[in-house]
Each structure stands twice: as structure tokens, then as C-alpha cells.
Amino acid sequence: MRPDDDARLLDAALAEQRACYEEMLGIAEGQRETLLSDDPNPLLDLVRRKQGVMERLEAIGRRMAAARDRWPEERDAASPALRAQVDRRADEVAAVLSRLITSEEEAARMAGALRDETLGRLKKQADTQKIRSAYGPKEAGDAKLFDTKES
């Protein structure tokens, strides 16, 4: 392939990647809202949507692999306008990917905090049940922690 052909292929593939990462960013933003709800069903839908986008990204990566591998040697031989376009597109992809990573990290922190909060509530509930069973009302005639017999 000629360098300009590879540049066009890379430009198109990078544009597709950017669109996929922007879609993932939208899914990630919806994920935070879904985490706050107590309904797990929307989370399953988000996972399926993410899987679909990841499959498209893998297909794009396979399609552009050869041109991407050749690009370092061909870059200087490509026309200046196409070379600049590929560079701009790569910068756009990097910027969206950076935002996506930040968003996913925030969602992971939120999920961790929600998990910790839920575990804390469950532990407190279990502890309360243990205390009640140890010190709560007993059958008639059972000894209690503090027997108050009148002498």
C-alpha cells in the first residue's frame, strides 16, 4: 500500500475508534447512575452494551493492524495534510480515551464505596442479631445475663 492509502485507512479507523470510545464514555456515565439505584438489571444491560463496543473496537484494531505497523516507516512519506490529519485524529482518540479511563476509575471507586457501605450494613445487622440472640428474651426459667432475684 502507498503511504497515503495507509494514512486514509488509519484516519478512518481512528475516527471509528473515537466514536466507540465516546459511546463507552456515555455508557460509563450511565453506569454511575445505575450503581446508585438498587436494581441490578440495568447493570446487565450496560455490560452487554460495553461488550458490543469492545467487539467493534477489536474488529477495528484488526482491520488497521497492518497499516498501524507500517505507519512509523511510512509517516514521513505520506502527504503533509494526511499526516497531520492522522496525528490530529490520534490526539482526539487519546483525549477521549483519557476521559473514559478517568470516568471508569471514578465508577470503580463509587462501586467500591457502595460495596463497602453494603458490607458494613450487613455486618452491623449480623452483629445486632448476634447480640439479640445472646442477650434477648429467653424462655421462661432461663437465666439472664443479670439475674435480678429479690432476696
Global confidence as pTM = 0.72
pLDDT over 70, % of the chain:
88
* pLDDT above 60 (res 136): yes
60-110 pLDDT, tens digit each? 999 999 999 999 999 999 999 999 999 999 999 999 999 999 988 888 888
pLDDT at residue 74, rounded to an integer: 92
Which one has a higher pLDDT value, 15 or 150?
A: 15
Asked whether the beta carbons of 77 and 3 are under 8 A apart, the reply is yes
Task: Name the residue type at position 98.
Answer: S
Supply the mean pLDDT for the chain: 86
- Ranking 16-20, 25-29, 53-57, 112-116 by mean pLDDT, the lowest is 112-116
The runs of H, that is alpha helices, within the chain are 3-36, 41-74, 80-135
Asked whether the beta carbons of 46 and 33 are under 8 A apart, the reply is no
Q: What count of residues does the chain have?
A: 151
Cβ atoms within 10 Å of 115's Cβ, excluding its own: 11
